[in-house]
Structure 1
Amino acid sequence: MRDHVHDKAQSEGGDTARVTGPPPPADTTRRWALFTVSLGVFCIQLDSFGLNLALPRIGRDLHASGTGLPWVISAYLLSTGTLMLGAGRLGDLFGRRRLLVIGLALFGGASLACALAPTLPVLVGARVAQGAGASLIMPVGLSLLTNAYPDALRGRATGLALGIGGTAMACGPFVGGALTEALSWRALFWLNVPLAALGALCAARTAESYDTTAPRTVDWSGLLTATAALAALSVLIDRGRTWPWPLTLSGAATALALLALFVHRERTARHPLVDPGLVRNAPYVALTLTGAAANTATVLFLFVVPLSLQGQWGLSVGGAGLAFLAPALAMALAGPLAGRVPAWAAVRLTLCCLAAGALVLACLSWAAAFPMYLAVAVLGGAVFGVANSLTLIATQAVIRPERAGEASGVTKTVITVAAGLGVGLVGALADPDGGPASPAATGAALRITALGCLTACLALAAWTRGSGEPSRRPQ
């Protein structure tokens, strides 16, 4: 199947870049796209989870206090989640390949600034820029794959890219800790520089694609309003629990007011940033909300299991890392497996994964023997890996390819904000003295999250009942 968006743009005199010679074979450009997106997703996930164990060393090296150190993590996550919504649509309008190259270049340059940062404020500022690059790479990269591959191969390609990223997500804390202990925390950022440069060079060899069904007009008012609303909401989720309640309420009111203003703007705009019809796509909404619940549970899973291996089961840091390789491998393999799921079964399977995830979390809180605990953790890695990968793969299968960046940006924004809720819960579990959370605290958090997963599963199953599941892409 031909890359119909690319070909259509050429046949209609669209915006696709002119070529002076014969175009490269489709298989070649697809492979370059797959390699580039896989590399970009790997870097993003590694930097999302690779600095957790390095924060004390960063504080000592930069002579920074403990209160400012969490911003090394938060600044990156907040920047990524805040800017992703608009990034996907900008890729649709101005060229997915072009925006992907810009994102990789920005990510690599910001990583270099992080590696050279002399003070904590410089490091936090560079992390904000790094998150801005990441916000371009993920949604634009997924939409690039959607338009590069035919229907029969699209899910497998996206699943493979997400599986590679899942490896970095699961193993990131231990990779970051090992690099910090052996070399320096700066080594993690130095690693990104050649990887991002290689990704940008490879991205330049992929085929360009655009949304040729809409004029190249950006809803700047909607973009600014959405960005402000998401920034307020993200900061509230990340820091609101430490504020006095009047400030927390004011922050919540500000975020809700901005979100309401954004919705009103999109309903009246001639060329909206987010098509209001997207929320009427029941399978898309169900998949996105299910993925949000699963992503929240995944963040807690990735935090609690390594700590429990060290605390409850008495393993060393190295031993815990070795034991966690099994759940990490299960999570990584889940991406390619999720890519083989047909579109008509996607909603049903994600709901099953959410229910299975609830059971896994409950069993982890009650496991009385280490072999049983590790076996359940491996099952959890597979279940959450499938749920998260399938969310991103299947949402691309139930929308029109020309607006793939828009849909990917909305989905990634929702599940990233949900991950912020998981990070907030993780912060509530942390020991004020810096030690690991108690088994009682982690067990309670696992059971509460399991109940939340089950409740979300039942609510979404009831909502989607009778709405049908797609057997083909809407036109």
Structure 2
Amino acid sequence: MTARPHLRTRVLLAMSMGVFCVQLDAFALIFALPRIGADLGAQGDGVQWVVSAYLLSTGALMLGAGRLGDLLGRHRLLVLGLSLFGAASLVCALATSLPMLVAARVAQGVGAAVIMPVGLSLLTNVHPGHLRGRATGLALGVGGIATVCGPFVGGALTETISWRAVFWLNVPLCALGALWASHTTEGRDTTAARHIDRRGLLTATGALAALAVLLDHVRHGAAWTESALGALLCATLLGAFIRIERRAPHPLVGLALFRNGPYVALTLTGAVANTATVVFLFVVPLSLQGRWGFSAVAAGTAFLLPALAMAVAGPLAGRVPTSGAVPTMAACLGGGALGLLGTALASDITAHLIAATFCGAVLGLANALTLIATQGVIRPERAGEASGVTKTVITVAAGLGVALAGSVTGHGHRAVGAEAAADTALPAAAAGCATACAALLLWRRAVRVRARRAEGRDVGEDPYRRAGDSST
């Protein structure tokens, strides 16, 4: 289903506001945590939950939110998500204690979990095929600006005004987004007759919450026994979810989705790219301050060029045709591996920034392409389900990236941490990108071989794949 041009514009504006706020609040408070702790009288590691609570609640709820949008109406849930995010931001801005702030951050995470997959599927459904990629790319480009500039903006607002200004900024933006989203309508998946797979929703959310908490504990150096128990709980819930989905008449996630080869390939390799991006975003600003001796303001200013390259990549990804998504993703992963190595091995600041800018561009393109291209190989009526799965996978990957970066940057003197990060985390991320690139190319070759062998056979229709889409 497509909507009239002015309604499509409102959806694009609403999603752009939403993704900007969601991505900004994921990174803007990193440098503000000491000030938050001092202002609220918090001591020890408790203040870290200001960031962790937001990321954990977002990652745990995205899967269910995407499918609920398909069933209950995407524009309604987008309005709800934006309204909740704005209201929670207001509570954050007025928080008088750390528990109050953390609770509001959890509510923000719930809103973010609704906004991202539901907004992506709404863009897919209201735009005609030739405009879907471009519209999604524009919205993700706005989010890219918030992602890469978040730490700098948060630090600047904290120093000049207050950390509360980050949350005050969200309130009018979310209100505008909710207003725009309320002025459109779109179809829903009537085949499921509004049957909600409650058992699947509960077990999936529980498994993702357990995994998110496990990643957070690993990042903070949890004991192996605690980590093993968390992994066991996660695996048990995941197994229960799979059994439920196999038997459910209207599953939360149809397992046939994972027989869509292009979707699975792009999602998994996109997760690797997202992991590398998180490592890049954490390590390079730290390296500018430690290895190269920049002040926090100077490092933020120097990082604006890689940030701009990453932001521009979003709209460019929207121009990649569906048939070219896999080779473009492979090229981005290969370029990302080279860029990450170049950033780590650069012998002077000019070469370091050039490599970082190139790296920002190709990783930004890969991340935007993951969300755009996976929507292109899925039927629109299942767009929310697919975007929920994709966002969940890459959010979990982001948690792994945080753990990898934190394992080498979270201890010791800043300069030592920067050297360790450049020498360890960046090459590790480069190796992951190179491996994913090789795997994607091998998969593509295997698909072509199978396609040639199967010419003339009637292989049936994949209920998740869009008509006319190529598997390569």
Coarse TM-score class (shorter-chain normalised): over 0.9
- Residue 6 of structure 2 is matched in structure 1 by 28
Q: Deviations over 1:129-168 (max 9, x none)?
A: 0000000000000000000100011100000000010000
Determine whether 1:112 maps to 2:90. Answer: yes
Percent identical residues: 62
- 1:122 Cα deviation after fit: 1.0
Partner of 1:472: 468
Query: Are 1:457 and 2:437 counterparts?
Result: yes
Instruction: Give the 5 Å matches for 1:127-206.
Output: 127-206=105-184
Instruction: Say whether 1:359 aligns with 2:338.
Output: yes
Q: CA deviation at 1:313?
A: 1.6
Residues in 1 aligned to 2:172 and 2:390: alpha-carbon distance in whole angstroms: 29
Instruction: Indicate conservation of the 8 Å contact 1:266/1:273, yes or no.
Output: yes
Deviation at 1:474, TM superposition (A): 8.3
Which residue of the other structure, out of 212, 224, 241, is the alignment partner of 1:262? 241
Equivalence for 2:367: 388
Match of 1:9 in 2: none
Name the CA distance, whole Å, in 1 between partners of 2:386 and 2:73.
15
Contact 1:86 1:223 in 2 (8 A): yes
For the Cα contact (< 8 Å) 1:112–1:190, is it kept in 2? yes
Q: Report 1:85-104 matches (<5 A).
A: 85-104=63-82
What is the distance in 2 between the residues matched to 1:63 and 1:310?
A: 28
> 4+ residue runs of structure 1 moved beyond 6 angstroms?
none
Contact 2:283 2:421 in 1 (8 A): no
| 2:285 alignment partner in structure 1 | 306
What whole-Å deviation, never above 9, does each CA across 1:378-412 have from its counterpart, x for those lacking one?
10111011000000000000000001000000000
Determine helix, strand or coil for the equivalent of 1:52. coil
Cα drift, residue 371 of structure 1:
1.1
Q: 1:431 to 1:100 in 2, by over 3 A?
A: closer
Residue 327 of structure 1 is aligned with which of 297, 306, 314?
306
Q: Does 2:270 correspond to 1:274?
A: no
Q: Is the 8 A contact 1:38 1:165 kept in 2?
A: yes
| In 2, Cα distance between equivalents of 1:434 and 1:231 | 33
Whether the aligned pair in 2 keeps the contact of 1:400 and 1:474 (CA below 8 Å) is no
Counterpart CA distance in 1 for 2:92 and 2:22 is: 14
Determine the C-alpha separation between the residues in 2 that align with 1:245 and 1:417: 20
1:64 counterpart SS class = coil
Distance 2:44 2:10 in 1: 43
CA distance in 1, matches of 2:418, 2:70: 47
Inter-partner Cα distance in structure 2 for 1:410 and 1:431: 30
Amino acid at match of 1:463: W
Alignment pair present for 1:65 and 2:65: no
Partner of 1:230: 208
Counterpart-to-counterpart distance in 2, 1:471 and 1:200: 33
Matched AA of 2:158: T
- Structure 2 counterpart of 1:245, from 212, 224, 234: 224
Separation in 1, partners of 2:369, 2:418? 33
**Structure 1 contact 286–464 (Cα < 8 Å) conserved:** no
Residue aligning to 2:276: 297
- Mark the CA change 1:220 to 1:434 in structure 2 (over 3 Å): closer, same or farther: farther
Tell me how far 1:207 sits from its aligned partner. Answer: 2.4
2: CA distance, partners of 1:473 / 1:212: 23
Deviation at 1:199, TM superposition (A): 0.7
> Are the counterparts in 2 of residues 170 and 328 from structure 1 also a CA contact under 8 Å?
yes
Aligned-residue offset at 1:342: 0.3
Q: Find the aligned partners of 2:33 and 2:213 in 1 and give their Cα distance.
A: 20
**Cα RMSD between the aligned structures?**
1.6
Give the gaps of 5 or more residues in structure 1: 4-24
Q: Distance in 1 between matches of 2:429 and 2:181?
A: 39
Of residues 270-279 and 235-244 in structure 1, the stretch that sits farther from structure 2 once superposed is 235-244
Describe the SS at the equivalent of 2:414: coil
Q: CA deviation at 1:433?
A: 5.1
Please report how far the alpha carbon of residue 471 of structure 1 lies from its aligned counterpart in structure 2 after TM superposition.
8.8
Paired positions, count: 453
**Greater shift in the superposed pair: 351-360 or 169-178:** 351-360
* Correspondence for 1:84: 62
Cα deviation for residue 465 of structure 1 reads 2.7
Task: Specify the alignment match of 1:209 in structure 2.
Answer: 187
3-state SS, counterpart of residue 272 of structure 1 = coil
**CA distance in 1 between partners of 2:356 and 2:409 (Å):** 21
Q: 1:410 to 1:431 in 2, by over 3 A?
A: closer
Is the Cα–Cα contact under 8 Å of residues 295 and 388 in structure 1 kept in the other structure? yes
| Greater CA drift, 170-179 or 198-207 | 198-207
TM-score in terms of structure 2 length: 0.93
